Structure 1
Amino acid sequence: MLINGKEKVLACPTTLSELLTQLGYRAVFVAVELNGTIIKQADFSSTTITDADKLEIVSFVGGG
């Protein structure tokens, strides 16, 4: 699969929520595009990710 343009191999299909946790993201602070479609945060735990998918993950950062 591709995550932000970099290849990553998944051992098995997983949910988007689990994958974000494994990658160190906090779901409330990200937006995710899966194969060209924006995924709602409410759907993260029910969305299955496989090796054939392409993800773009954008983190929100505060500062000033």
Structure 2
Amino acid sequence: MIVQVNGRSAELPDGASVTDAVKAVGLNGERRGVAVAVDGEVVRNADWDSTRLSERQAVEVVRAVQGG
């Protein structure tokens, strides 16, 4: 299926979860400092594995960075 991840089309397997979308942007297994919204609604970190995506949904993945 095709979903939008950070504004770009990404092909994920049918039944993919939010965790799969996070991995698609190169954040393999990282959860600390990462926030995800699906169609504009924030998904709690604890729900990433159980939140399934559907065709054409928009996923935004942001990572907090520290700097000065």
Range class of TM-score, shorter chain: 0.7 to 0.9
CA RMSD in angstroms, aligned pairs only: 1.6
* Deviation of 1:24 (Å): 2.2
Q: Comparing 17-26 with 31-40, which one deviates more in the overlay?
A: 17-26
**Structure with greater proportional helix content:** 1
Which stretches in structure 1 are left out of the alignment for 5+ residues?
none
* Identity across the alignment (%): 27
Match of 1:44 among 48, 60, 63: 48
* TM-score, normalised via structure 1 length: 0.79
Consecutive unaligned residues of structure 2, counting only runs of 5 or more, are: none
Residues 17, 27 of structure 1: 8 Å contact kept? no
SS in 2 for 1:27: coil
1:2, distance to aligned residue in structure 2 (A)? 0.6
Counterpart of 1:2 in structure 2: which amino acid?
A: Q
CA contact (8 A) 1:13 1:51 kept: no
Report the TM-score when normalising by structure 2: 0.76
Aligned structure 1 segments of 4 or more residues deviating by more than 4 angstroms: none
